[in-house]
Amino acid sequence: MPVLRRENTRPPRSPRRLHTAGILLAALSLLPALPASLAQAADTPARGSAHMGMGVLAHDGRDGTPSTGDATQTEGVDVSSHQGNVAWSTLWNSGVRWAYVKATEGTYYTSPYFAQHYNGSYNVGMVRGSYHFATPDTTGGATQANYFVDHGGGWSRDGRTLPGALDIEWNPYGAACYGKTQSAMVTWIRDFLNQYKARTGRDAVIYTATTWWTQCTGNYGGFAAANPLWIARYAADPGTLPAGWGFYTMWQYTSSGPTVGDHDKFNGALDRVVALANG
């Protein structure tokens, strides 16, 4: 009896499938060779998420806690979308009397929590203002000042509204000085400040850290005569101030305070906070 031979019924492999598989294997073999810059991209925060003091811990660190018993220092807070909805009554009851809230960043971001922060602080009785997180690598200083004023950074002489603040510090999205030389950074800041004053009649507050200011502006002292200083340093004292300023107006002393984390001292009693609001 003849032996029946079983035929191979499997269809031949498609040249197209073989080609696709080869491409996938080749791509996988390249993964270990990806540039480190691409591998680190996942660690870069999303645009718009920056907030006051974001780089202070990383660059200046934390050393000690300030004295809280000085009657000439008035407690304040600064907030952004990082905190979400804020319990303003809780802060008021704890002794906080003034607040700055993030309004804008660059010319591409407005805080979705701005109304809750700006109106909420005002409604419980606080003196409040708004701040702009500067991104000098995206658009010019005057352009960003206009964007800030148009989206919550304005000022009114009601005794409860502080002048706008320029948050100029480490770049959370790239090079610390935003790719600018020291002289170019000074020019950018000047353009912002001049345009803000032209729009509002007020000199904006400058928020910064001495180490960043020294690195990125060359410790420029030319703004001290007109612009109040808000210094960032999480320590027992504000430390050495940037050139030109003989005293600070505000001091962000911690990012781990009660209720919202970012707490500040105003260098004076509450009547001095009101005086700054009134210009």
State the catalytic residue, choosing from 78, 203, 262, 264.
78
Catalytic residue, chosen from 7, 60, 150, 167, is 167
What percent of the chain has a predicted confidence (pLDDT) above 70? Answer: 76
pLDDT for 15: 46
The tens digit of pLDDT for each residue in 124-155 reads 999 999 999 999 999 999 999 999 999 999 99
Q: What is the pLDDT of residue 211?
A: 97
Strands 234-235 and 109-110: unpaired
Q: Which residues, 6 or more positions from 204, have their beta carbon under 8 angstroms from its beta carbon?
A: 163, 164, 165, 166, 192, 193, 196, 197, 227
Task: Out of 169, 203, 262, 264, pick the active-site residue.
Answer: 169
Summarize pLDDT for 88-98 with one digit per residue, the tens: 999 999 999 99
Structure tokens at 89: 């009554």
> Closest Cα to residue 197, out of 159, 148, 245?
148
Query: What pLDDT digit, counting tens, does each position of 237-251 carry?
Result: 999 999 999 999 999
Give the fold, CATH level 3, of 56-278.
TIM Barrel (3.20.20)
Mean pLDDT of the chain: 85
* Residue 187 in tokens: 């020019």
Alpha-carbon separation of residue 214 from 59, 136, 173, 264 (angstroms): 13, 17, 20, 22
Each residue's pLDDT tens digit, 5-40: 444 444 444 444 444 444 444 444 443 333 333 233
What's the predicted TM-score (pTM) here? 0.80
Alpha-carbon distance 270 to 83, whole Å? 25
Question: Residues 6 or more apart from 57 whose CB is under 8 A from it?
Answer: 234, 255
Verify whether residue 271 is a known catalytic residue: no
pLDDT at 43: 73
Closest CA to 274 of 197, 196, 164, 161: 161
Q: Is 105 among the catalytic positions?
A: no
Judge whether 70 counts as a catalytic residue: no
Task: Give 21-68 as a DSSP string.
Answer: HHHHHHHHHHGGGS-HHHHHGGGSPPTT---TTTTHHHHT-EE-----
Q: Bigger pLDDT: 36 or 82?
A: 82
Residue range 31-72, pLDDT digits in tens: 333 333 323 355 776 876 556 655 565 555 555 555 555 558
pLDDT average, residue stretch 223-232: 98
